[in-house]
Amino acid sequence: MKLSILTITLFSSLALFLTSALANSDNLKNTPLPSPGNDANFLKLSTGENLSKLRVRGRGLSLTRGGGGSFSKKREASFSKLYDEGKNTPNAPYQWVVMNLDTGKILDQSKSADMKMFGASVSKIFVGATYVHTQEGNVDKKHLQQLANMLVVSSNPAWLQLQKDIGNGNANKGRKTIHEFTQSMGYERTRGFQNYLKTGNDKEIHGNELTAKELAAFLYDTYWQKYDGAEVMWKLMHTLRTGGSKANKYLPSNLYLGGKTGTYSGSTVDPETGAEHFPNGKKYSVQVRHQVVVFNYKGTQYALALLTNKASNEHVSLLAAGLFNKIIKKEHI
């Protein structure tokens, strides 16, 4: 279902409230967060809570590193094909942004990096960010555990519960607050909530729609603490366990990695048009494999926003390692 101009207008006043709150918050530091390699107490929050004491599925949280897999010449050639397609073909099934988080400069991007794609579980970072911001960074133990479950192993029950809790027990109010947060942060094309947001008059906005460019902007804003509670998100994302067969696979084992993955194969609606069917009449469906990644390389903080729609974790792995070698390593030659 398409979002009408009237519906957008209805949200503008709500977004202004959050914009003001973000601009005037006393807790915003607007200073960069540490990287694991530079901070022996990285998993300890400024509130005193130690994330390493949390347990998710029976295991304590720990930092994630690159897999160190061999990026052979054959794999490099496969990356080059993906890269060429993404750089030269409009609306290709491979979209990315490489950003220097210290400067905010985009170092490389695909041709259609602002194209909407179904977000899968990557959207959970916007649910988490909204929650910590509404709590001004003071997250109780119960919800800290839910955030860990959602971000570390991508728990769907934790995702739905947090969205509901954002709305004080009302899931639709939670969606509304998440949408207000993303809009106030300037992520105009992002729909970071799950399912449909009911706006009245039979109008609905489809959620879980992301762009590579705005994902990179979110990682920048998190690193620079542009919203309350960014520290919680930043540090929990560095304990991600689901990237081993995706972006982590061929990245160097001496890199500490943070981020979030997303996987979904099935029906949805066209993120750009809202159409429920392809032009040939078949039901609209996707086969997405995504990941956002942050890491510090030789003293500089970087981000990769990687979105693919070809049902292969390997595509994400190839993009991550290929972009690291082609773009980031060359910055330090």
- Given this model, what pLDDT does residue 21 score? 44
- Per residue in 43-100, pLDDT (tens digit) is 999 999 999 999 999 999 999 999 999 999 999 999 999 999 999 999 999 999 999 9
Segments of the chain assigned E as strands = 55-56, 59-60, 64-65, 94-100, 105-109, 117-118, 196-200, 203-206, 209-210, 256-267, 285-297, 300-308
- Given this model, what pLDDT does residue 29 score? 66
248: its two tokens: 């982590």
- Given this model, what pLDDT does residue 30 score? 85
Report in angstroms the alpha-carbon separations of 218 from 62, 273, 280.
Answer: 23, 24, 36
Q: How many CA atoms lie within 13 A of 263 on its CB side?
A: 15
- Given this model, what pLDDT does residue 39 score? 86
Tell me if the domain spanning 5-332 has CATH number 3.40.710.10.
yes
Mean pLDDT over 306-330 rounds to 97
- Per residue in 278-298, pLDDT (tens digit) is 999 999 999 999 999 999 999
pLDDT over 60 at 15, yes or no: no
Beta bridge partners, 152, equal: none
Longest CA pairwise span in the chain (Å): 58
Distance CA 148, CA 154 (A): 9
Report the chain's mean pLDDT, rounded to a whole number: 92
- Per residue in 124-166, pLDDT (tens digit) is 999 999 999 999 999 999 999 999 999 999 999 999 999 999 9
What pTM value is reported for the model?
0.91
